[in-house]
Homo-oligomer: A and B are copies of this chain.
């Protein structure tokens, strides 16, 4: 095998010029070393690349093929160095972003659009997972950024910012009489059937539902415990009860469900953006800075 790119450059120049003196000039060298490089390349590969005599230089069939490969190798050499530099400086790269299913329909497309415009070289790879999975994935390095619900316990080594705040809404079948109310008050919910989140996988909304419902007396009747918002919405649409869901659940687009705002001081839901203390790549760091700037 041949050993250096110099030989490839010589070969390409000669293949294009088909004239040693002109090719050598293009390579800023004299003819004899060019002649030698070509001979060495032919010896190293065991392939006659040019038919030549003192009057004529012509590519062989094998040389014509090899020209394509030589150009490819040189092109990869140039591009890869350029791209590697851009990765090092944070102007290119791939960043994985985790998100919860509901935020995927509302926050993620908007964030993606703004980020891709501001940082066009950075590719954002999306992974949908629930909050607890996101925390693990951040700590293992499988995720760089996470759009997730707040966690009760502070997670060591992780940083978070409040990314978004939205009201909780009452989701109920649109045929239900309460769907006519402009605003829901605690007394409306007395002893109503209420679907709520599972206390482990959907802990944040489970606790939030209990807290908001503390104002209702006597309490509603909790009929199901479900981990994911879209499953809850499906049950609501089929008349199994009502539920408290974050406002972005509207974007799930499930038909037959009405959404009504709660009384004014009812607690709101937050979405956090979180990451490890030290960034895994420069691109990740630039994307973080962009997001923090946007939060401003």
A-side residues, CB < 8 A to B, are: 1-6, 45-49, 60-63, 65-66, 69-70, 72-73, 76-81, 83-85, 87-88, 93, 280-283
Residues of B within 8 A of A2 (CB): 5, 77, 81
Q: How distant is the Cα of A169 from the Cα of B84 in the complex, in angstroms?
A: 69
Contact residues in B for A77 (Cβ distance below 8 Å)? 1-2, 69, 73
Beyond A1-B81, A61-B93, A65-B80, 11 additional pairs, beta carbon < 8 A? A1-B5, A4-B5, A45-B81, A45-B84, A47-B88, A62-B85, A62-B87, A65-B83, A69-B77, A69-B84, A76-B76
15 A-B residue contacts at CB 8 Å? A2-B81, A45-B84, A46-B85, A47-B81, A47-B84, A47-B88, A61-B87, A61-B281, A62-B84, A65-B83, A65-B84, A66-B80, A66-B84, A73-B73, A73-B76
Question: In the complex, what residues of B have CB within 8 A of residue A49's CB?
Answer: 84
A283 to B63, CA, bound (A): 14
Q: Which residues of B contact A84 (CB under 8 A)?
A: 45, 47, 49, 62-63, 65-66, 69
Contact A3 B1 (CB under 8 A): no
A61 partner, pick from B3, B45, B280, beta carbons under 8 A: B280
Copy number in the complex reads: 2
Closest to A79 in B: B69
Given A61-B283, A76-B73: A85 touches B3 (CB 8 Å cut-off): no
Q: Which residue of B lies closest to A78 (CB)?
A: B1
Q: Chain B nearest CB: distance from A40 CB in Å?
A: 13
- Inter-chain CA distance A228–B156, complex, in Å, is 83
In this complex, what residue of B is CB-closest to A80? B69
Measured CB to CB, the closest approach of chain B to A66, in angstroms, equals 5
5 closest pairs, A vs B, by CB?
A69-B80, A4-B4, A61-B281, A62-B87, A62-B84
Q: Are A60 and B73 in contact (CB-based, < 8 A)?
A: no
**Shortest distance in angstroms between A212's beta carbon and chain B's nearest beta carbon?**
44
Shortest beta-carbon distance from A121 to chain B in Å: 12
- How many Å from the CB of A37 to the closest CB on chain B? 13
> In the complex the two chains form, what is the Cα distance from A81 to B3 in whole Å?
12
For residue A279, give the distance in angstroms from its CB to the closest CB of chain B: 10
The distance in angstroms between the C-alpha atoms of A45 and B73, with both chains bound, is 16
